[in-house]
Chain A
Amino acid sequence: MTKRTFNVWRGDGGAGALAAYEVEVNEGEVVLDVLHRLQATQAPDLAVRWNCKAGKCGSCSMEINGRPRLACMARMSTFAPDEAVTVTPMRTFPVIRDLVCDVSYNYQKAREIPSFTPPPDAKPGDFRMRQADVQRMQEFRKCIECFLCQNVCHVIRDHEENKESFSGPRFLMRVAELEMHPEDTADRRAIAQDEFGLGYCNITKCCTEVCPENIKITDNALIPLKERVADRKYDPLVWLGSRIGLRKGADTPLPPNTRTTTATPEQ
């Protein structure tokens, strides 16, 4: 057993501040264990969101020594022996209290994506999918919705005003997943750029760096989606085809009633 200094964010977003605690740490513990000990001993009203303690529910996202991580997966043994541990809530989302954020932004962005659209005449049991067909999308399904990638992305982290026009890596990855689906008929490439803000991403890969599921978000979802958007929007031949009316297949619009504001760039 050793003692360790923990600096924990207390209070709400506006008026909160870091509070220092000396707390006991035992071998094999993770940061979440220590936060629970704080709750049990010195700070009974400390708010922490958690669920599985196994890195699978995505609830315990926070920032530990400045790095966005899952508290239940952050081993105490990875810190230097006398290093103080600073724990703050995710910076991109509003704080409800202490380490708990309001992540509604993400649910809002999820609803804006046009859902899976099979061919209209497809009957139940019609699809025959091979491993090769699902391979790419399978990786994206590992997502545990911890929103660490959304939190670290500088597009909204450092520029709150971009929240309206940018859906963030997790949901652009969802768009990529649907776009790669062999049985999906909707074309989300135009709205990916115009409504979900794919162009804001400058592929600097912080989302990939923090993803606890090790999903290669940038390489396997965002860049392939950028290439697909380039097919649709920045290919001179396609552009010419659309001018002279050769292009078949219409862009899929945003689902109705999913945006609070109507101030989208296109309207």
Chain B
Amino acid sequence: MTSTLPPPERAGLARARISARTLRTDRWWVAPLLTTLGLTAFLVYGLVRALQQDHYWAADHGYLTPFYSPCIAAQCAPEAAHFGRLPFEFPWWLPYAAISLPFLLLFRFTCYYYRKAYYRSIWQAPTACAVREPHKRYTGESRFPMIGQNLHRYFFYIALVISVVNTYDAVLALFHGEQGGFGIGLGNLVLLGNVVLLWCYTLSCHSCRHVFGGRVNSFGRSPVRYWLWTQITRLNTRHMTFAWITLATLVITDLYVALVASGTVSDPRIFN
């Protein structure tokens, strides 16, 4: 049998021995630095707020912050618990939204974009392109525990359900007018804007793109899948943008609700 082997690399040749970590002259360290700061700021804010167990529900206007949705602890304000409450009180270290927050965190942790972001900025593999990484050995996502990143799609399914819950919260808040019934205040716009952007982030997910269309081989024979894939692809190219925007809108929404709930600011009403 004839060999299909190509000629091997010529023996005795070596790579260019350049000791500098990189010869790049641009400011390649800025992006990883900003990423680290941004992610840390969000995590610290989120942790503080999730453990605060207060100022999550603006009763007058029915605003519930996404960080406490769904509110399931026995201590939750009864009207804030849109999906019922568990019969026991939560200790101080357990967020009231303990059934959704861990999954949202895992959804973002295994997200292809955030993976890129923290592999580069926090794990430094690699810090920037063509900059030598500090690790001796590297196996990436090929073995335990990092192989678990392949479970991303299951967190995506859960995130879809949680997005529905958040939408429900935002819609319910529309029926807390000053005189009862339908009403709109600034807070409603904040909640709705946040929900729309959360949907953009969730639907632009790479797993979403795969399950709704990317997995078929013949788009010619599946026009509906093809159409879905095309639409999701349009969102998907902006996935990174949505990843950062939603971190910001989550903080803004939560902060707004906290300020209204604590009576620090009053909610400007637009209609009723």
A residues at B contact (CB < 8 Å):
9, 12-14, 16, 63, 65-68, 83, 86, 88-89, 91-96, 102, 104-105, 107-108, 111, 128-130, 132-133, 135-136, 152, 154-155, 157-160, 162, 179-182, 184, 193, 197, 199-206, 209-210, 219, 223-224, 226-231, 233-234, 255-258, 260
Contact = CB atoms under 8 A, between A and B. Distances in A.
Nearest to A16: B16
B85 to A, nearest CB: 32
A9 B206 contact: no
Contact of A13 (B14, B209, B217, B218): B14
A230 B150 contact: yes
Which 8 A-B residue pairings sit nearest by Cβ, starting from the closest?
A: A199-B142, A66-B23, A66-B24, A94-B13, A13-B14, A182-B218, A206-B129, A130-B220
B220 A226 contact: no
B36 to A, nearest CB: 15
Contacts of B264: none
Contacts of A234: 147, 150-151
B220 A129 contact: yes
B219 A89 contact: no
B130 A13 contact: no
28 contacts: A13-B17, A14-B17, A16-B16, A65-B25, A66-B23, A89-B16, A95-B13, A95-B15, A102-B13, A104-B10, A108-B5, A108-B6, A108-B8, A158-B133, A179-B217, A199-B147, A200-B139, A201-B141, A202-B140, A203-B119, A224-B210, A227-B210, A230-B153, A256-B1, A256-B4, A258-B5, A260-B5, A260-B8
Interface in B216-256: 217-221, 223, 226, 236-237
A66 B140 contact: no
Interface in B125-175: 125-126, 129-130, 132-133, 135, 137-143, 146-147, 150-153
A200 B140 CA distance: 4
A23 B217 CA distance: 53
Interface of B: 1, 3-10, 13-18, 22-25, 112, 115-116, 119-120, 125-126, 129-130, 132-133, 135, 137-143, 146-147, 150-153, 206-207, 209-210, 214-215, 217-221, 223, 226, 236-237
Nearest to A223: B206
B17 A104 contact: no
Contacts of A66: 22-25, 130
B80 to A, nearest CB: 35
A154 B206 contact: no
A210 B140 CA distance: 20
A155 B132 CA distance: 11
A256 B3 CA distance: 9
Contact of B214 (A83, A108, A197, A224): A224
Given A202-B141, A256-B1, 10 more contacts: A12-B14, A13-B14, A68-B130, A108-B5, A199-B147, A202-B119, A219-B206, A226-B150, A228-B215, A230-B150
Contacts of B135: 158
A200 B142 contact: yes
Nearest to A265: B142
A14 B3 CA distance: 31
B215 A227 contact: yes
Contact of B219 (A133, A231, A260): A133
Contacts of B147: 199, 234
Contacts of B115: 202-203
